[in-house]
Amino acid sequence: MTTVLITGASSGLGAEMARQMAALGHDLALAARRTGRLEELRDEIENAHPECRVEIRALDVNNDDQVFEVFRAFRDDFGTIDRIIVNAGLGKGAPIGTGRYDANKATAMTNFVAALAQCEAAMEIFRAQKAGHLVMISSMSAMRGMPKTITTYAATKAGVAALAEGIRHEMAGEPGLAIDVSVIYPGYIRSEMNEHVKKPMPFMVDTPTGVAAMVEAIEKRKPHARVPSWPWVPMGTVLRHAPLPVVRKLT
């Protein structure tokens, strides 16, 4: 049975990925800051899927030492970790130069620096096992520099994607290592992170629908996937190549 470690698993996309991965028969290692929510999620999954083993641990991904400790502890619990999904993230931010460097720095530290720590801890385990599947949750905003409140967020998600591609590039040249790397670019999926946004977003889907598309791409171990595929596969090409005035109207 495959063991999947998910960070940021207490709510939103992370919690729903846990539910859907459990339904596919995977054992779960779930980590987040809010252990009360993790306990509720564990009980829910175990009731729905008694055959599924679920272990939980508190994790603040901005605590580098704790990232390594928790990942290694999960590895010891199960004996092996087959897939690690770097999902924990932060969505706050402000236009650059408007006095909210604190918010932008917090987003940068959580979404990129903490993701780097998670990659280090994950790849340490996978290199020792000589196998594994690293999954990075990016965003369609990574396709292009974005304005206003999501400038920093988009930059961190582009950084996450580049980090994953670099690891994939290295693994392709390492004989004897069966380590896959996937980058998932979700489009607009309703979740706890964006529920405060009042402006209606085009092509928004509910959490179960959006996560189902994410899980399908992860299960296929795709190197990269824009999800849901409609409209985000063609939209990603537009976002990446269209003139900025056009991109501005779409975001």
Q: Catalytic positions, please?
A: 153
Other residues' Cβ atoms within 10 Å of the Cβ of residue 225: 21
Q: Compute the distance between CA of residue 247 and CA of residue 53 in angstroms, rounded to an integer.
A: 45
CA dihedral sign of residues 29, 35, 38, 42: positive
On the CB side of 247, CA atoms within 13 Å amount to: 17
Q: Which residues are CB-contacts of 172 (< 8 A; sequence separation ≥ 6)?
A: none
Answer whether 131's CB lies under 8 Å from 178's CB.
Answer: yes
